[in-house]
Structure 1
Amino acid sequence: MTAPHNFFALISRMRYIGRWGLMRNTFQENIQEHSHMVAVLAHALAVIRRDIFGGDLDPGHAAALALYHDAPEILTGDLPTPVKYYNPEIREAYREVETVSARRLLSMLPEALRPAYEPLLLEDPESEYHTLVKAADKLSAYIKCVEELKTGNTEFRQAAEQTRRALEDSPLPEVAYFLEHFLPGFSLTLDELQ
């Protein structure tokens, strides 16, 4: 009899890890919901790059990377951004913790499956895909801010301003395209969307 592998059981627990822990939220967001939205956005950015700007990234691979981009947080929890980026030493130490967590998750898969998941959990931080997923992650954060501000929650005002500036400063043309063509819809009501 083979030993059980707990990888997917742990992945399913992403729904228990909350985001925006230091902020008063009108609605809670967990890393499973967030990862789904980042996957949708990463896929969209890759499609925009391919179909509008003539790039060659695979949208499916971008989406898969995004689905797993926060998986190590199952074991580490979500460290608030102001803490994570407080200084280079903390950021580097947290990267190491995330790598240990990713390797631990990989060890929970049968050895034959590990090569398929390793690039998703231990992605190359210098790759174009990583850059695209980081942009999608930032877009997701900004959309969360917009949605909170729509409800009158001013707690997200400064985060929205900082995140919007970072998106506008992005060198990726697909981010600018998304901001111009798709982002305005997130400020609309349901009736206005239809």
Structure 2
Amino acid sequence: MRIGSHFFAYLSRMRFIQRWALMRNTAPENVQEHSHQVAVLAHALAVIRNEKFGGHADAGAVAVAALYHDASEILTGDMPTPIKYDNPAIRKAYKAVEAVAEEKLLHMLPEEFQPVYAPILTVTDPETERLVKAADKLSAYIKCVEELKAGNSEFRDAAVQTRAALEEYELPEVTYFLETFMPSFSLTLDQLK
């Protein structure tokens, strides 16, 4: 009996990996939920770039890259940001671990699909990567704002740091999103009417 590919069974387990493990959360978030939000945001940033700033980003490719941007965490788990980025040696080592995990995931696919998924699991286009990273940071900022709105002061410093990191990107599409769409995340459902 031939055993099939485990690739999609592994991907479905993204929902079991919790994010923000070191912080008290009013609304827990898993990697699958986060990946969906990052894909929506990355797509939006690409559309904003194209429609408002004359860019030529492939919004579909950006969205797909965002969907898979944390796929390696199925094998590595989610390392908290303060640990992952605190030390250059840890950051470098974690990048190497991510690369091994991405390769392992890729080889779970039948050979004929590997060339299709290789550039999705390991993004090589710098502009796609930049938009996905910005969307990832934007997702973190939205999480901070929503936690603060729920009265969780645990996210106060993270919100300030994440907003500053977003502004450091100096991407006009990020600035546009922050000015146009971000204020709504602080509103209640009744205020959104």
TM-score bin, normalised by smaller chain:
over 0.9
Question: Counterpart of 1:21?
Answer: 21
- TM alignment of 1:71-86, pairs within 5 A: 71-86=71-86
- TM alignment of 1:63-102, pairs within 5 A: 63-102=63-102
Paired residue type of 1:28: P
Say which SS state the counterpart of residue 18 (structure 1) adopts.
coil
Paired residue type of 2:72: P
Aligned length: 193
- TM alignment of 1:1-194, pairs within 5 A: 2-124=2-124, 127-194=126-193
Say which SS state the counterpart of residue 113 (structure 1) adopts.
helix
Paired residue type of 2:170: P
Bigger shift: residues 114-123 or 9-18: 114-123
Pairwise CA distance, 1:154: 0.2
Identity of paired residues, percent? 66
Say which SS state the counterpart of residue 52 (structure 1) adopts.
helix
Superposed structure 1 runs of 4+ greater than 6 Å apart: none
CA distance in 2, matches of 1:30, 1:158: 21
Pairwise CA distance, 1:114: 0.7
For residues 3-49 of structure 1, the C-alpha deviation after alignment (integer angstroms, 9 at most, x for no partner) is 31010000000000000000000010000000000000000000000
Pairwise CA distance, 1:169: 2.0
Pairwise CA distance, 1:123: 1.2
CA distance in 1, matches of 2:7, 2:116: 13
State the TM-score, normalizing by the size of structure 1.
0.97
Pairwise CA distance, 1:90: 0.6
CA distance in 2, matches of 1:174, 1:152: 29
State the TM-score, normalizing by the size of structure 2.
0.98
CA distance in 1, matches of 2:106, 2:169: 32
CA distance in 1, matches of 2:99, 2:169: 26
Structure 2 unmatched ranges of 5 or more = none
